[in-house]
Amino acid sequence: MSLIVLGTVALDSIKTPSGVKPELLGGSASHFCMSARLFNKIHLASVVGQDFPNKHRQFLKKKGIDLTSLIEQEGKTFHWKGEYKKGDFNNAITLKTELGVLMNYTPQVAASQRKIPNVFLANFDPDIQEYFLKLMDKPKFVGMDTMNLWIDIKKKSVKRLIKKVDLFVANDGEACALTGESNLIKAAKHLRSLGPKLIVVKKGENGVLFYSDKFMFSFPAYPVEQVIDPTGAGDTFAGGLMGYLSKSPKITEATLKKAVIYATTLASFNVEGFAMAKTAPLTLAMVHQRMKKLVKFISV
């Protein structure tokens, strides 16, 4: 059963201790797709400006992403300029944000896509996420991500939307900010009480915590020695998680654990290169090879 993602498509200019790269293909939906495509047919819903390079569009198409609902509007593509300082890859420093076409975007979904059963609302304005969700026709499984910015300025919208999703993915800082808890287990329980049955808290290099009513589990991250650029790691994680779940006939503890292991593995590739340098060439066979090492690394 296929999967549609709403999120941003961006041009990212990124500075890390490994170098400076201007205008790379980025955005929450792009990173999500590059990971989820390994498991399923992925439909992307987003907006770009007239300046969006055709090579990026062709690249996404070549990776099998359906771009029917990637609309082009007058204006400039969303542009994020950010920096990571040495030894602090968990904190992106935003140098410039040019929203461009995001400012006037009203999500669209082709009629043929309305019945897609799996929906992921990648990081975006929660009102736009909710608008998009209403366009969909009774989806079977809905996941969402958000970020501190929206929790700060649109907390009510985030809380209204979270009631309507099955899976909530957040990083540790966001989980605490949204719930007011400082303990992650408490934060996860609190998030559960807001609606979603499945809670995934990402902790960057410290791995991930999964919480549900019946069981919880935690895995460390894959040990990456040379982090180049963590931009999009969370979206790549979400893509692996949702991609695998969307192909699973039933969501069980075993399925969820496997999905988190896939997601963890994919995120580890993401951070090893700028933008999608390491995730774009991936095949499932390459992912499985690293997954074996990860499982050995974390097995009791």
Q: How many residues make contact with its own copies (CB under 8 A)?
A: 32
Helix (H, G, I), strand (E, B) or coil at 145: strand
- The token pair at 19 is 């170098």
Distance of closest approach, residue 95 Cβ to its own copies, in angstroms: 21
Q: Among residue numbers 121 through 160, which ones bind its own copies (CB under 8 A)?
A: none
Q: Select 153 or 254, whichever has its Cβ closest to its own copies.
A: 254
Task: Answer yes or no: are the C-beta atoms of 139 and 24 closer than 8 Å.
Answer: no
Q: Does 299 bind its own copies (CB under 8 A)?
A: yes
Q: Select 130 or 181, whichever has its Cβ closest to its own copies.
A: 181
Q: Select 44 or 245, whichever has its Cβ closest to its own copies.
A: 245
**Single residue of 99, 224, 251, 280 touching its own copies by CB under 8 A:** 224
**Single residue of 207, 248, 251, 273 touching its own copies by CB under 8 A:** 207
**Single residue of 54, 62, 87, 134 touching its own copies by CB under 8 A:** 87
Whole-angstrom distance, CA of residue 212 vs CA of residue 150: 24
Helix (H, G, I), strand (E, B) or coil at 107: coil
Q: Which amino acid is at 65?
A: I
Whole-angstrom distance, CA of residue 162 vs CA of residue 26: 25
Q: Are strands 208-211 and 216-219 parallel, antiparallel or unpaired?
A: antiparallel
**Single residue of 261, 267, 276, 287 touching its own copies by CB under 8 A:** 261
Q: Select 86 or 96, whichever has its Cβ closest to its own copies.
A: 86
Q: Does 226 bind its own copies (CB under 8 A)?
A: yes
Give residues with Cβ within 8 angstroms of 78, minimum separation 6: 8, 9, 10, 11, 27, 48, 49, 98, 99, 100, 101, 102
Contacting range for its own copies; rule: CB under 8 A; set: 81-89, 95-103, 157-165, 241-249: 81-89
**Single residue of 76, 186, 247, 290 touching its own copies by CB under 8 A:** 186
Task: Kindly compute the dihedral angle of the four CA atoms of residues 57, 61, 63, 66, in this order, to the nearest 10 degrees.
Answer: 120
Q: Select 117 or 207, whichever has its Cβ closest to its own copies.
A: 207
Give residues with Cβ within 8 angstroms of 69, minimum separation 6: 4, 43, 44, 45, 46, 107, 108, 109, 110, 113
Q: Select 93 or 110, whichever has its Cβ closest to its own copies.
A: 93
Residues forming the site for its own copies (CB under 8 A): 86-88, 176, 182-186, 203, 205-207, 209, 216-220, 223-227, 257, 261, 295-300
